[in-house]
Amino acid sequence: MTEPLADKIGIVNQGTVDNQTNNITIHQGQKVALIYSDTVPDLRFFQGRSAAQADLMGWLGDRSVSLIGIRGEGGIGKSTLMAKVFAESLGFAGKFWADVREGTTIAALAARALLELGVLPEQVRDLEEKDLVPRLLRHLQQGRYLLAIDNLESVLTAAGDWKSGYEAFLDGFQALGSASVVLLGSREYPSQYFGWQQSRWLTVEQGLEPAEGAALLAALEVEDTEEQRQGVSVQVQGNPLALALIAGWLRQQRPGNRTVTLLQHHPDLGQLAGTHRKEGQISVERVLQWSFDRLTPENQHLLTQISVLRGAFDAEVAAALAPEQSVGLPNLDDLERRSLLQALPQSNPGSVQQFRLQPRIREWVQKRADLTPAHTLAIAYFWSHRPREFAKEDTLDAISDYEDTFYHQCQLGRYEAALATVLACAAFLRRRGYYQTLAALYGPLHTHWQPTPAQRQDYAAVCGSLGNAYQSLGQYQQAIDLHQQSLEIARAIGDRGGEAASLGNLGNAYQSLGQYQQAIDLYQQSLEIARAIGDRQGEANSLGNLGNAYQSLGQYQQAIDLQQQWLEIARAIGDRQGEGTSLFNMGFALARLDQHDEALQSYQQALAIYEELKLDHMVQQWLFGIAEHTQPAPRSTRSPLKRWQKWGLWFAVGGAIALGIWWLRR
C-alpha cells in the first residue's frame, strides 16, 4: 500500500519495456510503488518540453490551483508530458494515475484511488458503489493528493457530455476547496470546464524541437549524425509517435547499421535521409502507413485483427482473433519492437505478458479494413471465457468478459444480443450494488439502439432498467424521464404488463423525491392493470409499493393491511424473497404502532428467510433497518408500554442483531 510522504513522492523505475512502465524514477531516493494505479508512460526517453514543464510544475506548486488540464492530439506526447510532471512534482502525500481509455467508470476509478491513497482494503470493500465517489472526495479534502486521469476523451459522448459519472465527481471536486489537485490529459473537454475557478489549461500543439527530436532518436538507438537525426525530426514535425515508429523499424537492423541513411531506400517515406528543415514535411499518417507496409502480411493481418480490442490482451487473445495463422508471443514482440504495440510491465516474472495498442495507432488501423470478422471472433472468445456463475466473494472484475462481449456486440450494432449479455450479469450487479456499471452498460443501448417494431418491447425494458439504475444512484429526474419513455412505448405497443411495470417504476422515483401522493396514484394504476391481466407477481409488487408509500405518510395500519395482502400473494406463488420483504416492512409499521411483540416476530421471520436464501444484502438491510424501525413512534400514536416490556423488546432485538452479525461474519 502507498505510504504517505509529506513533501516528496514518486516511483522507482523497474520497467523493462520501451513504451510503458508502471514505475517512475523519483528524487533523493524516496520511493513508493503505484500498486493500484494504471500503467504510467515510460519516461526513460523523455525529451524537451522545458517551457511546458515549467508552466505545469509552477501550477502544481501553486496552492491556489486545484485542476490542471493538458490537451493535445493523439501521439503528440501529452501523456508522457503529463507523466513527467506527475512523477517529479513535490509536496503531495499520495498520488494516483488512471488511464480511462477503456471507459472506466468513476466508481471503479474511485475504488482504486482510495486504495492507492492509503485507505484500508477492507474499508473500501465495505463501501457501496454509490458511496465510493463521496468517500474519495472526502479523502482528497483531508490532505494534499495528486489524482491524474489520462485519455479523458474516452468518457465523453460524441456531443461532449460526460459518461460514467465523471461530471458529478469533477463538480464535487470543484466545490471542495481542498489542497489536492486533479491533473487531466485529453484530446477534448466540455467547454464549461475552461471556466472553472482555480484551473489552468495547457494545449500541446507542436512536436519536439529539432534537437529534442534528434535526442529522442538517439535515445531510441538510431545511429547517425546529429544533423541527419534533426532532419528526420523536422520531416515529421517532431511528432514523438512518428519518431518512435521510425526508430522501431531501424532497430530491426544490426547495431552499426541503424542509420537514417537507410531510409533513402524507401521513397514511399519521402527520402527522409539528408533532407533539410526547409523541405517538405511528412504526416504522422504517412509514417504509420510506411510502418504498416514494413510488416509481413501475417503481422499486418494480426495488427488489424487485434485493433478491435479495447484494453490489454495477451498472446492467447491475439491468437483467437487470427485463427487461420500461427500466432504466438514472437509476433507480438515483433510489433512491440517496432513501437506498434506497448508491452505492459509484468507483475512478476511468471505472469503472462500483456500488450496494448496506442490509441492513435489503434484508430489508424481500424480505418483500413472491415472489422466485422475480428469483432465476431472477439465476441466468441470473451463469451466462451465468461464465468457462468458468480461467487459470493466476486468483485466487479468478474464481469470483464461480459463487458468485452457487450462492447464488441455494440460495435457491430447487435444491440439485441448486447442486451442479452447485460441481462446475464445484471442480477449480480444489482445484488452487489454496482449501479454505476449498470448505467454504463444500459446507456449505449438507450443512446444508439434504433429498435425495429418487434424490438420495441426490449427497448422499453432498457429504458426501465436504465431508469432504475439512475434512481439507485439518486439521479431521480433522469430516472423519471426514462420511466416515462418506457411507459409511452408500452402503451404504444399495447404491452399491458410493461405499462404496469413502468407505472410502478415511476411511482418509486416519485416516492424517492418525497412526492408520496403522486407515487400512490401511480402504484394504484399499476395495481389495477396487474389485476386486470392476472399478473400475480405484479399485483404483489404494487401492493408492497403502496404499503411503503402509506408507511411514509405515517398511515401505518393502512400500510400493514397492504403488506399483509402482499405476504399472502407471495406465499401463494412461492416468492420467498417477496415473503421476507413484506414481513420486514410489516415489522416496521407494527413497531411504529407500538405492537412490539408482533414487530419482532415479523423481523425474525424475515431474517430466517433471508438466511435461507443467502441474501447478504437483505440481511444487511435487516441489521441496519431494525434499529431504526423499532424506534418509538411519535407520542400521539403510542400506546402505553411497561418498562419490562421495553427491556424485553430491546433484549430480543439485540439478540437478533447479534445473530445477524454472526451470520454475516461466519
d(CA 33, CA 39): 11
pLDDT, position 279: 41
pLDDT, position 28: 36
User: How does DSSP classify residue 313?
Assistant: B
The parts of the chain modelled with pLDDT lower than 70 are: 1-33, 190-197, 261, 264-282, 347, 615-666
C-alpha cell at 256: 552499426
Q: Coil, strand, or helix at residue 8?
A: strand
Q: Coil, strand, or helix at residue 9?
A: coil
Could you tell me which of 27, 73, 356, 384 has the C-alpha nearest to residue 241? 73
Interhelix angle 643-665/596-613, nearest 10 degrees: 10
Listed in order, strand segments (DSSP E) in 256-344 are 342-343
Q: Count CB atoms within 10 A of the CB of residue 169.
A: 23
pLDDT, position 274: 41
Q: Are 184 and 69 in contact (CB under 8 A)?
A: yes
pLDDT, position 534: 95
d(CA 181, CA 179): 7
The sign one gets for the Cα dihedral 413, 419, 424, 426 is positive
User: How does DSSP classify residue 279?
Assistant: S
Q: Which residues of 594-613 are buried (b: 16+ CB within 10 A; e: fewer)?
A: bbbebbbbbbbbbbebbbee
Residues in the chain: 666
Q: Are strands 199-204 and 67-72 parallel, antiparallel or unpaired?
A: parallel
Q: E strand or H helix at 71, and its extent?
A: strand 67-72
User: How does DSSP classify residue 40?
Assistant: E
pLDDT, position 663: 40
Interhelix angle 576-592/556-573, nearest 10 degrees: 160
pLDDT, position 453: 95
